[in-house]
């Protein structure tokens, strides 16, 4: 079970990674992913994020997704956060979001990135091959997962801290660690070269 202390600790560790990697001020220090099943209302969690953090709006195929996006966008403007919309460039345009996040299938499918000047574009990756594809698409950063075993993908093979670090060092793109990360294991990523941590449950206070 996650506690307020574990969420705060995870955030601090992510910010430390962000500083050490040299991306502080250029990329979000920590990223919250919304999830309709595990975090039905992400607004209170988003409101607790530090300035400069990122939010990826997933909530795929959920009624009221655009309304939630507008609420999150208003929060981002007030608190200096960054909102990315997953898988829907048109919705990102309508919301005035800061960019988009591409699921792995979309990275494989799209020959050209939907882009707007100034947008931040991130992508999901689960393998060395998908990391390479993301690089070819010219994204700004990648969320690589699952680093550790995670309840959202039971039975899925985890990369582990060592393999994650090796993949991060072999890739020229900034990489965020995602999947099964909590205060108890996040310290294993200290020397991984990660640009930060992305999480759902780990950031719930």
Give me the residue spans of the domains in the chain.
4-203
Output DSSP code: residue 172: S
Radius of gyration of the chain measured on its C-alpha atoms: 15
Q: Which two tokens stand for residue 105?
A: 């299938």
- For the stretch 57-113, pLDDT in tens is 999 999 999 999 999 999 999 999 999 999 999 999 999 999 999 999 988 886 666
Q: Which two tokens stand for residue 151?
A: 């309840």
| pLDDT exceeds cutoff 60 at 3 | no
Q: Residue with structure tokens 């060092």? A: 169
pLDDT of residue 110: 65
Helix (H) or strand (E) holding 45: helix 43-47
Which residues are within 8 A (CB) of 24 and not within 5 positions of it... i.e. 6 or more apart? 15, 18
| pLDDT exceeds cutoff 60 at 5 | no
Q: What mean pLDDT do residues 126-145 have? A: 93
CATH 3.20.20.70 assigned to domain 4-203? The reply is yes
| pLDDT exceeds cutoff 70 at 129 | yes
Q: Which residue has the higher pLDDT, 52 or 6?
A: 52
Roughly what angle, to the nearest 10 degrees, separates helices 160-170 and 128-137?
Answer: 30
For strands 82-86 and 120-125, give the pairing. Answer: unpaired
Which of 44-53, 103-112, 139-148 has the lowest average pLDDT? 103-112
- For the stretch 185-194, pLDDT in tens is 989 999 999 9
Q: Residue with structure tokens 């607790």? A: 48
Q: Which two tokens stand for residue 36?
A: 């309709």
Which of 22-31, 77-86, 129-138, 158-167 has the lowest average pLDDT? 129-138
pLDDT of residue 117: 82
Give the span between the Cα atoms of 178 and 152, in whole angstroms. 11
Q: What is the mean pLDDT of the chain?
A: 91
* Cα angle for residues 151, 106, 24 (degrees, 5° grid): 70
Helix, strand, or coil (residue 85): strand
pLDDT of residue 109: 82
Helix, strand, or coil (residue 181): coil
pLDDT of residue 15: 96
Q: What mean pLDDT do residues 16-45 have? A: 95
């Amino acid at each position: 079970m996650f506690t307020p202390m574990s969420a705060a600790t995870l955030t601090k560790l992510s910010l430390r990674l962000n500083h050490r990697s040299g991306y502080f001020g250029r990329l979000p220090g920590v990223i919250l992913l919304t999830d309709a099943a595990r975090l039905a209302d992400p607004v209170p969690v988003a409101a607790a994020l530090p300035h400069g953090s990122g939010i990826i709006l997933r909530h795929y195929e959920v009624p009221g997704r655009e309304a939630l996006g507008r609420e999150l966008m208003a929060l981002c403007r007030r608190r200096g956060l960054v909102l990315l919309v997953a898988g829907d460039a048109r919705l990102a345009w309508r919301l005035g979001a800061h960019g988009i996040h591409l699921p792995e299938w979309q990275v494989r499918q799209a020959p050209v990135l939907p882009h707007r000047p100034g947008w931040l574009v991130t992508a999901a990756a689960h393998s060395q091959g998908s990391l390479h594809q993301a690089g070819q698409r010219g994204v700004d950063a990648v969320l690589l997962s699952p680093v550790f075993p995670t309840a959202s993908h039971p039975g899925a093979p985890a990369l582990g801290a060592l393999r994650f670090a090796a993949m991060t060092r072999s890739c020229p793109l900034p990489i965020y660690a995602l999947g099964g990360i909590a205060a108890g294991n996040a310290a294993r990523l200290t020397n991984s070269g990660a640009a930060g941590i992305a999480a759902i449950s780990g950031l719930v206070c």
